[in-house]
Amino acid sequence: MKMDIEKVARLARLELSEEEKVTFGSQLEQILTYMEQLNRLDTSGLEPTSHAIPVNNVFREDEVKPSFPQEEVLAIAPDEEDGHFKVPRIIE
Amino acid sequence: MEYEPVIGLEVHAQLLTRSKIFCGCSTTFGEEPNTQTCPVCTGQPGSLPVINRKAVEFAIKLGLATSCRIAPYSLFARKNYFYPDLPKGYQISMYEFPLAVGGFIDIMVDGKKKRIQIIRIHMEDDAGKLKHGETPETASFSYVDFNRTGVPLVEIVSGPDIRSPEEAGDYLRKLRSILQYLEICTGDMEKGTFRCDANVSVRPKGRKEFGTRTELKNMNSFRHVEKALEFEIKRQMAALEDGEEVVQETRLWDVDQGVTISMRGKEEAHDYRYFPDPDLVPLRIDENWVGEVRKKLPELPDEKKERFIRQYEIPEYDAEILTSARAMAYYFEECVSFFPEPKIVSNWMMGDLLRELKRDEKEIDHCPVTPKHLAEMLSMIKKGTISGKIAKDVFEEMYRTGAYPEDIVKDKGWVQILDEGEIERAIQKAIDANPKQVEDYRKGKEKLFGFFVGEVMKQTHGKANPKLVNELLKKKLKA
């Protein structure tokens, strides 16, 4: 199975060197080939398993809990101004 | 060639929970930026989301209110993309297993019921809010506030059943009204608690297949949705007429220019790579829970409308308008409880009351005239204390000042004249001042009767009882 390593990298915002493209490309292909084996099984009539443990309906009540102080969350911002995260302009 | 537009709408509605969908941060609007965030809603490594029970209940409510089937199994999925208002790098949404499917909303088109299918309703988390620098120093930056990140949303996807911008507007108003009846969303398009994207295409009338569609975004009022659709439909029809092809793309509504603009090139082809969110376990909503929620449903617009027609014997048109908002229906029923003549109440509400409110862009729950005041004024008309004509002035005064109708009438000296002697004197004056018209009238020009009524009313400043004026005037003119 062939995969477009450049597309995957672009979607994940990863910059790969030519060398990395070759390395990761073949590694990913091996993984996909391995997964292909599973595709040979007949799974019609089976509900897809999204979670390994059979747990459903875990809820929290609608209660407000304390949030991060503003300084704390802004401390992880690359840049900040007037209480906002400051980023390169997004085209609108 | 004659073309037909095909429109489907995707609405995002913010749910009125106190806390966010997957964490305990407050959802209060308008707080200082970035003061309502935590490891979960900012996507810090190792944090775990847990679904807010109330948000699920609200979504079930909406599902039931739009006659959807509540899915016994639904599942959150990650929608992966990068944008600065999305700290996790993915939105938590539902993909293959939405919460509710297969419902509908009925709207009125040319006096007939038209059914718009609801394909699905699913839950997801909202993104943050972006501001873009406007001064020379800030123009190359955008500013992010994550307070809104993680506020619960429902997305309601309609079928491609809408055939005109007006129908789109009616559908949206009806959906908003349902959300407000359920008290699960404020429905404020300007504030963004109720947002709408539109898929629109055109096809030659009579053809079954759909044309190529575009997706419209950035419309933040009902009026703009209708205007944007009008523009886009015309644009696509013109393209087809010229033998051009419509390109499938996202277009933004430009409010200032009144046009839709292509986002081509500014947006990469979407590849969201949805997959089940491993951090959130599936929802299995059983019949018991659905039944409990169903029991708590209020009377909805359509049911209320039917009841109004039955109970108050008002026309369907009136009932439709009076039930279009919960507060309006409440006002009507309050007023009728004090003045039990529903059609008269309805006429005044749909006439003077709604006109004033519309002019001031006020909602009915902020109306300065209370239902009780309106009812009192209507009683005064009925008793003959004031004429229907003067009542218009009384109403305006009530609306302006919020005063009691009786006080207004007393202060202004607007009490209706029922004294026959006084009316006769006014009639005599009108006759004396217009001998020519009297002669013509007596020769058979009966149309002039209205003229004399007007003259008498002028004399009495509109306060004379019209019935008496008619009677006495007829007698006098005959003589």
Three-state DSSP string of A15-41: CCCHHHHHHHHHHHHHHHHHHHHHHCC
For chain B, the maximum distance between any two Cα atoms, rounded to a whole number of angstroms, is 100
| Interchain CB contact of A38 with B (< 8 Å) | no
| Residue B387 DSSP symbol | -
Backbone angles phi, psi at B254, to 5 degrees: -100, 105
CA distance B196 to B174: 13
Tell me which residue in B26, B36, B281 faces A55 most closely, judged by beta carbons.
Answer: B281
Give the separation between CA B338 and CA A26, rounded to whole angstroms: 81
Task: State how far the alpha carbon of B105 is from the alpha carbons of B66, B167, B273, B329, in Å.
Answer: 6, 12, 32, 19
Distance from CA of B103 to the nearest CA of A (A): 24
Find the residue in B nearest to A65 (Cα): B24
Is A82:B131 a contact under the CB 8 Å cutoff?
no
Query: Which residue, among A79, A71, A68, has the nearest Cα to B133 in the 3D structure?
Result: A79
Inspect the interface and report whether the beta carbons of A90 and B83 lie closer than 8 Å.
yes
Average pLDDT, chain B: 93
How close does chain A come to B204, measured CA to CA in Å? 34
pLDDT digits (tens, 9 = 90+) for B257-315: 999 999 865 455 568 999 999 999 999 999 999 999 999 999 999 999 999 999 999 99
> Taking a C-beta distance cutoff of 8 angstroms, is the pair B105, B174 a contact?
yes
d(CA B403, CA B394): 10
- Considering the domain delimited by A2-39, tell me its CATH architecture: Orthogonal Bundle (1.10)
* DSSP 8-state symbol, B283: B
How many whole angstroms separate alpha carbon B44 and alpha carbon B35?
A: 16
Which amino acid belongs to residue B215? E
Chain A residue closest in CA terms to B81:
A11
pLDDT band at A3 (very low <50, low <70, confident <90, very high): low
ipTM over 0.85: yes
SS3 B258: coil
Name every residue whose Cβ is closer than 8 Å to that of residue A23 and which is 6 or more positions away in sequence.
none
**Element of type H or E holding B380:** helix B371-383
- Contact check, Cβ <8 Å, B32/A86: no
Q: Following CA atoms B426, B429, B433, B437 in sequence, which dihedral angle do they give, to the nearest 10 degrees? A: 60
**Minimal C-alpha gap between A89 and chain B (Å):** 4
The domain segmentation of chain A, as residue ranges, is: 2-39
Domains of chain B in sequence order: 3-291 (no CATH), 299-412 (no CATH), 420-478 (1.10.10.410)
User: In 10 A of CB B5, how many CB atoms?
Assistant: 22
Nearest to B133 among A11, A74, A89 (CB): A89
The length of chain A in residues reads 92
Section B156-162 average pLDDT: 98
* 3-class secondary-structure state, position B259: strand
**Structure confidence at residue B28 (pLDDT):** 95
**Secondary structure (3-state) at B394:** helix
Amino acid at B397: E
What's the token pair of residue B176? 């908003």
Q: Any chain B CB within 8 A of the CB of A70?
A: yes
- How is A40-73 classified by DSSP, letter by letter? TS--TT-PPP--SS-----EE-S-------HHHH
Closest-CA residue in chain A for B283? A57
Q: Chain A partners of B34 at a C-beta cutoff of 8 Å?
A: 70, 73-74, 83-85
Of B41, B122, B286, B51, the closest CA to residue A59 belongs to B51
The per-residue pLDDT for A92 is 56
| Strand-by-strand arrangement of the B90-94 sheet | B90-94, B76-80, B275-276
CA atoms B86, B90, B92, B98: torsion sign: positive
Answer whether residue B435 shows pLDDT above 50: yes
The tens digit of pLDDT for each residue in B341-396 reads 999 999 999 999 999 999 988 889 889 999 999 999 999 999 888 888 889 999 99
Strand pairing class (B129-132; B90-94): unpaired
**Three-state secondary structure call for residue B18:** coil
Minimal C-alpha gap between A23 and chain B (Å): 23
pLDDT tens digits along B44-92 = 999 999 999 999 999 999 999 999 999 999 999 999 998 999 999 999 9
**B55/B129 Cα distance (integer angstroms):** 21
Count of alpha carbons within 13 angstroms of residue B405, beta-carbon side: 24
Contacts for B352 with CB less than 8 Å, ≥ 6 apart? B392, B395, B396
Query: Which of B25, B143, B146 is best to mutate for the A interface (most A CBs within 10 A)?
Result: B143
Q: Are B80 and A11 in contact (CB under 8 A)?
A: yes
pLDDT digit string, tens, across residues B104-150:
999 999 889 999 999 999 999 999 999 999 899 889 999 999 999 99
Query: Which residues of A fall within a CB distance of 8 Å from B281?
Result: 51, 55-58
Cβ-defined contact of A63 to B56 (cutoff 8 Å)? no
> Dihedral of CA B30/B31/B34/B39: which sign?
negative
Tokens at B209, concatenated: 């297949």
pLDDT of A1 higher than 50:
no
Q: How far is CA B443 from the centre of its chain?
A: 56
**Which chain A residues contact residue B140 at CB under 8 A?**
88-89
Say which residues have a Cβ less than 8 Å from residue B257's Cβ, sequence separation at least 6. Answer: none
- By the 8 A CB rule, do B387 and B436 touch? no
The arithmetic mean of pLDDT across residues B21-26, rounded, is 98
Q: How far is CA A37 from CA A33, A42, B110, B138, B331, in A?
A: 7, 11, 59, 54, 67
Record: contact A56-B271, CB cut-off 8 A: no
Looking at mean pLDDT, say which of A39-48, B108-117, B147-156, B316-325 comes out highest: B147-156
Query: How far is Cα A76 from Cα A81, in angstroms, rounded to an integer?
Result: 13
Q: Which of B326, B294, B289 is nearest to B61 (CA)?
A: B294
C-alpha distance from B361 to closest chain A C-alpha (Å)? 30
Q: Which residues of B292-319 are buried (b: 16+ CB within 10 A; e: fewer)?
A: ebeeeeeebbbebbeebbeebebeeebb
